[in-house]
Amino acid sequence: MEKQYETCKNCEEDFEKDFRFCPHCGQKSKDELTIGVLFYNTITNYFSFDARFFKSFFPLLFKPGYLASRFIEGKRLLYLHPAQLYLFISVMFFFLLTVVVVRDKVEEIDIALKKTLEKPIISDSTRVKAEKAIDSIKLDSILRPLKEKGLVGIDKKQVKVLDSLIKKETSKNKNYGTTFDFNIKKVDSLILINAQNEAVFKAMGMRDDAGSLKRKFYEQSLKFYKQRNGGQIMQAAIDTIPISLFILLPIFALILKLLFYKRGTYSHHLVFSFYYFSFLFTVFSLILIVNYFWDISDWLDFLIVISTYFYLLIAIKRFYKQGWFLSFFKSGLASFVYLMLVIPIAIVIIGLVGFLFY
């Protein structure tokens, strides 16, 4: 009896009809498209959300350092790839962060700013009077001793000259450098008549020789002043965090490489970092979900966050196979360098990027 063949719809190669899967490409021989198949394929293709995810998820939470060790040993198909696991969990975390926290905070900040900046807290006339009063106090404190002591060479005319010089110098220094303490009424009037941005920038204190970066700051400041949308700056800053983490995570792996330079190649430390950051985002996601339904105490949230350090300690102890003292010292040093040096610099950069590109 002759064997019957059919053609694969995917690779168009012939195979025996009794085969359930194409031996050339692996596609199911009779893969009818249904709603279930459509969504299952989408999830598994992009997030590998299959049995490997569940095999990886629980060891990730309850066995510090286990997944990284198994992956280095060669068990690379039994568990989810570290980069895939990190990508999936980080996407879920930032989605939850946006839905649960950021969206409401953005609206609150925008509303609060619009109310606060709707009218200047101090009017221009009050500010001018205050400046004059302060100037008079400063000048009086300088000139009165000169008059009372009657120093040689200081007469009334020279006192007047000194007074005018001090006032002139004070007025010069009011708009020195980059400052956004501008005349609100003047800027508002220019905006009202749709004046060109260059005229508004000058009213805000920008010099003619300002560089491109300083000009960008003035552009964004004017945009912020017009729209009162500080929440959008926050949104833009948070949107840059996932991209920034692709730089910050390798830096953490580099710190581990410097601390454990004899314990494998840089890629080994990168695998460890992927799994550890996946754990961090899992914990933060659980905190967001729980607090969304039940507002748990701040001290409990704090304890949960602190527990992530002890997870790191145990993970380093198991993965790098060193004693408790060395593991405690190196995990503490890595955490200190990362939190005290790397993270603050990253926050400043993220804030600037958020302001410049919101």
Distance CA 214, CA 225 (A): 16
pLDDT digits (tens, 9 = 90+) for 192-205: 777 777 777 777 77
pLDDT digits (tens, 9 = 90+) for 272-329: 999 999 999 999 999 888 888 888 888 888 898 899 999 999 999 999 999 999 999 9
Taking every pair of Cα atoms in the chain, the longest distance, rounded to a whole number of angstroms, is: 129
CB 257 within 8 A of CB 269: yes
Angle at 219 between CA 213 and CA 220, to 5 degrees: 95
Nearest by Cα to 266 from 278, 277, 254: 254
Nearest by Cα to 26 from 43, 42, 13: 13
DSSP-derived secondary structure letter, 338: I
Distance in Å from the first CA to the final CA of the chain? 71
What are the extents of the domains in the chain?
1-37, 58-113+231-357, 122-176
pLDDT digits (tens, 9 = 90+) for 145-183: 555 555 555 566 655 655 565 555 445 444 444 444 566
Distance CA 13, CA 7 (A): 5
What pTM did the predictor assign?
0.60
Confidence band for 212, pLDDT divided at 50, 70 and 90? confident
pLDDT digits (tens, 9 = 90+) for 134-143: 455 445 555 5
pLDDT mean over 84-93: 88
What Å distances lie between residue 228 and 103, 114, 222, 351, CA to CA? 16, 6, 10, 17
Confidence band for 209, pLDDT divided at 50, 70 and 90? confident
